[in-house]
Amino acid sequence: MNTSYLAPLFMAVLLIGLALAHPAAAQDATAGKASYAVCVACHLDNGAGNQALNSPAIAGQEIWYVERQLTYFKEGLRGKHPKDIYGAQMAAMALTLVTEQQVKDVAAYIASMKPIPRPAPTVKGDAEKGKALYTICATCHGPDGKGMKELNAPNLTLQQDWYLERQIKNYKEGIRGNDPKDIYGMQMAPMMATLPDDQAIKDVIAFINSLK
Ligand code: HEC
Ligand code: HEC
């Protein structure tokens, strides 16, 4: 039996397989780096963020979370509320990522960045009291604050405390997480009822600041 036709056949199947596999597999951090050029102005080249420009640290944040936030900004699920002035600044920037592929690639690049040690705390609170308040947060964000993908909850230990404070207030005041299509924000927002006042917000953040 002549089997010589098998080798080219095998190659053809392999090549088709590779061609099909490629688009799905692609999250190209190198391509993402090029799209990141416009982000440097506010988030800096190492992803450390810049308080003077109200932009949070993003270095090392998980890819699925970054991808979702960028999509939210693009689609107006975040940064659309009239009182969300900082979200609106970011939403305009997300529009520079025209294709879904660009969003995926830049998310891969951000996730690949080395996390930056947090700057000295700017929010003063009682970490002991905050620890008790954090018990409920731990169910989704984890006891170590590093987030849990299964529950769609991001890492809270990468960002500066002033950014966390703003987001918690945004959730509490319905500025973020109020769009019915924002299913993950809608999970988060009701949890803010467990933080009755500004002092409770500061206390829980003081505890998050104490997490390594
Ligand atoms: C003009 C300044 C500016 C530029 C440029 C900018 N951002 Fe932002 N970005 C912000 C601000 C301000 C926020 C915080 C918005 C808020 O408080 O809700 C933010 C938030 C984010 C977040 C959400 C972080 C989180 O933890 O939820 C991501 C992700 C992000 N930016 C990625 C990018 C990417 C990628 C680019 C480039 C395509 C970019 N940003 C360009 C100002 C900027
Ligand atoms: C039921 C699960 C759940 C609980 C409990 C919960 N969160 Fe969240 N949290 C989430 C999810 C999901 C998101 C992401 C929403 C999104 O993707 O837009 C989030 C987002 C956040 C963010 C925004 C982070 C960023 O990078 O912008 C902060 C801050 C936060 N949570 C703090 C807290 C604190 C503090 C508590 C406790 C008082 C808490 N969360 C309790 C699910 C939860």
Question: By the 8 A CB rule, do 159 and 57 touch?
Answer: yes
Give 104 Cα–ligand 1 centroid separation in angstroms. Answer: 15
Domains of the chain: 29-112 (1.10.760.10), 127-210 (1.10.760.10)
Rounded to whole angstroms, the Cα distance separating 100 from 21 reads 17
Sign of CA dihedral 111, 58, 149, 101: negative
Residue-level pLDDT at 21: 46
Residue-level pLDDT at 7: 60
Q: Which two tokens stand for residue 90?
A: 């970011």
Q: For residues 164-190, give the mean pLDDT.
A: 95
Given a cut of 70, is residue 155 above it in pLDDT?
Answer: yes
CA neighbor of 157 nearest in space, from 121, 129, 191 = 121
pLDDT tier at 4, thresholds 50, 70, 90 = low
pLDDT tier at 19, thresholds 50, 70, 90 = very low
Q: For residues 37-64, give the mean pLDDT.
A: 97
Rounded to whole angstroms, the Cα distance separating 89 from 73 reads 10
Residue-level pLDDT at 5: 63
Q: Which of 15-19, 61-65, 180-184 has the lowest mean pLDDT?
A: 15-19
Q: For residues 116-132, give the mean pLDDT.
A: 97
97 close to ligand 1 (CB < 6 Angstrom): yes
Q: Which of 35, 36, 38, 42 to mutate to test the pocket of ligand 1 (most atoms within 8 A of CB)?
A: 42
Q: For residues 125-143, give the mean pLDDT.
A: 98
pLDDT tier at 6, thresholds 50, 70, 90 = low
Residue-level pLDDT at 42: 98
Q: CA angle, corner 118, sides to 117 and 123, nearest 5?
A: 165
Cα 73 to Cα 78, 86, 92, 97, distances in angstroms: 5, 11, 8, 11
Residues with Cβ within 6 A of ligand 2? 68, 136-137, 139-141, 151-154, 156, 159, 164, 167-168, 184-185, 187-188, 191, 194-195, 204
Q: For residues 141-167, give the mean pLDDT.
A: 97
Rounded to whole angstroms, the Cα distance separating 68 from 63 reads 9
Mean pLDDT across the chain: 91
At 100-115, the pLDDT tens digits run 999 999 999 999 999 9
> What ligand has the least distance to the C-alpha of 70?
1
pTM of the model: 0.91
